[in-house]
Structure 1
Amino acid sequence: MYKKIVAGLAGALVLNILHEAVRNRFAGAPRINELGEEALQKSLRPFNLTVDNPRSLYWATLSSDIVSNALYYGVTATTSPVISGALAGIGAVKLPQHLGLNDEPVAATPQRKLLTVSYYLVGALVTRAVYKALQR
C-alpha cells in the first residue's frame, strides 16, 4: 500500500510542479491554482470561515491539491494511468461550471483545456512509472 501512496505523491508533485512552471512563464496557461482557491473558499463558507491572506490561501490550496491528487493517483493511476489522468483532467475542465465555480482559469481557451488535461495525464503516467519502479 505504501508504494501506491508514494507513487501517487510523486505524480501529484509532478502535476503541480509542471503547472507552476508553465503558469509562471505563459500568460495563456491554465490557472488551476485559481480554481482551487475559489473551491477552497467556497467549501469554507458553510463554516463561516475564510482565508483572507492571499499567500496563505495559495499554500492551503496547493497543499490540499497535492494530498487529494496523491490519494486519487495512488488509487487509480497505479493500474490505469491513461484513464485516470484523462478523467481527472476532463473533470477539472468540465466540473467547475456544474459546481458553481468559474471555469475560465482552466477552460477559457482550447489551449487551456488541452494543457489542463495534459497535466493530469502526465501526473498519472509518472505515478504509474514510480509505482512500477518501486515494485522491482
Structure 2
Amino acid sequence: MKKLNKTILSPLGSGLLGAVALTVLHESARRLIPAAPRADILGMRAIKKVMDTVDEEPPADDELHDWALGGDLLSNTLYYSLIGLSKPKDALVTGAALGLAAGVGAVGLPGPLGLGTTPTQRTPATAAMTIGWYLVGGLVTAGAYQALRKLRF
C-alpha cells in the first residue's frame, strides 16, 4: 500500500498543488494586470462550445466562470500529475518541460480550436505571461513532487 500511495498520491497531490498555484496566479493577475492572460475566458468559451454542440443551454456567466475554474483545476491537476512518469531526481526538468509545453499550447492552440486568440495572445506580454505562469505551475508541481516522495505515508 505504501508504494501505491507514493505511486499515485505523490503525482496527483503535486499536480493539484501546481494547478492551484497556476489558477491562483491567473485569477489574481487578471484582476490587477490589464494585459494578463484570461484562461477563464478560454474555459468558458470551450464549455459554451461543447454545450452548443449538444444543444444544451450554458449556465449564466457567473456559474459558467465557476465551471471553467473547476475544469481548469481538474484538467491541470491531471496534466501536471504526469510528473509521476519521471524519476524524482528529474522532477525539476520534467516539471519545467510540462509547464513550458502547457504554456506554449495555451498560446498556440486556442485559435485553431475556435476559441479565439485574444485571451492568451492579446499582446506579447500576455503571451509571455501565459507561458511563464504555466511554467510556474510546472515548477510548483516539481517541488511538491520531490517533497511528497520523501514523506512516509
What range is the shorter-chain TM-score in? over 0.9
- Write out aligned runs for 1:46-61 (5 A): 46-61=53-68
**Runs of 5+ consecutive residues of structure 2 not aligned to the other structure:** 1-7, 87-93
TM value normalised by structure 2: 0.85
Pairwise CA RMSD of aligned residues? 1.3
Kindly provide the amino acid, as one letter, of the partner of residue 127 in structure 2.
Answer: K
The offset of 1:50, in angstroms, is 2.8
The offset of 1:33, in angstroms, is 0.7
Give 2:122's aligned residue: 108
C-alpha distance after superposition, 1:79-125 (max 9, x if no partner) = 31111101100000000111111110110110000000011000010
- Write out aligned runs for 1:37-48 (5 A): 37-48=44-55
Greater shift, 28-37 or 112-121, is seen at 28-37
Aligned residues: 136
Residues 78 and 131, structure 1, Cα contact 8 Å, conserved in 2: no
C-alpha distance after superposition, 1:10-62 (max 9, x if no partner) = 00000000011111011111111111110111122221113231111000000
Residue from 26, 47, 70 that aligns with 2:33: 26
Give 2:3's aligned residue: none
4+ long deviations beyond 3 Å? 76-79
CA distance in 1, matches of 2:18, 2:132: 13
Kindly provide the amino acid, as one letter, of the partner of residue 134 in structure 1.
Answer: L
Residues 8 and 74, structure 1, Cα contact 8 Å, conserved in 2: yes
CA distance in 2, matches of 1:134, 1:61: 28
Calculate percent identity across the aligned residue pairs.
36
CA distance in 1, matches of 2:80, 2:57: 28
TM value normalised by structure 1: 0.95
Instruction: Give yes or no for the alignment of 1:67 onto 2:81.
Output: no
> CA, structure 1 residues 92+58, in 2 after alignment: closer, same or farther (shift >3 Å)?
same
Give 1:85's aligned residue: 99
